[in-house]
Amino acid sequence: MSEEYEYRHEVEELAERSATAARLFDVRRIIGGLFVVYGIIVLIAGYTASDADVKKASGININLWTGWCVLAVGLLFLLWMKLRPLSAPGAVPKPEPSRPGSEPGAENGPGTGTGTGEG
């Protein structure tokens, strides 16, 4: 019994490490982080733009607007990652709450009278 316990403990520990690695390399974190970094860089370029640069873009500080947009996209990716974290690989997904009328055998809808012995 002791060997079985040790084996299960080892498997659980490996599963926990695997889940941590999966969350660490979540692509949303990488993409969001890169967008945030690039957004900050472009924002700095927008704030330090000369009058000649702004004049070239028809009076619009395009670096400033682009920097804010890229930063917003990066923050949205990171927010998405925070609100919907990855589940552990091989984990059973949580069942969604059932809606009324979604029981097995209710395909025809309520009140159809099929199989109730009405007649």
**CA-CA distances (angstroms) from residue 113 to 99, 109, 116, 119?**
20, 9, 6, 9
pTM for the model: 0.56
Does residue 63 sit in helix, strand or coil? Answer: helix
**Residue 72: predicted pLDDT:** 97
Question: What's the pLDDT band for 100 if we cut at 50, 70, 90?
Answer: confident
- Indicate the burial class of 98 (C-beta count within 10 angstroms; 0-12, 13-18, 19 or more): exposed
**CA-CA distances (angstroms) from residue 14 to 2, 17, 68, 69?**
18, 5, 41, 40
Is 35:70 a contact under the CB 8 Å cutoff? yes
Cα distance between residue 58 and residue 41, in whole Å? 22
Question: What's the pLDDT band for 8 if we cut at 50, 70, 90?
Answer: confident
Question: Mean pLDDT over residues 59-64, rounded?
Answer: 90
CA 82 to chain centroid: 7
Residue percentage of the chain with pLDDT more than 70: 66
**Total residue count of the chain as it appears in this document:** 119
Residue with tokens 């682009």: 66
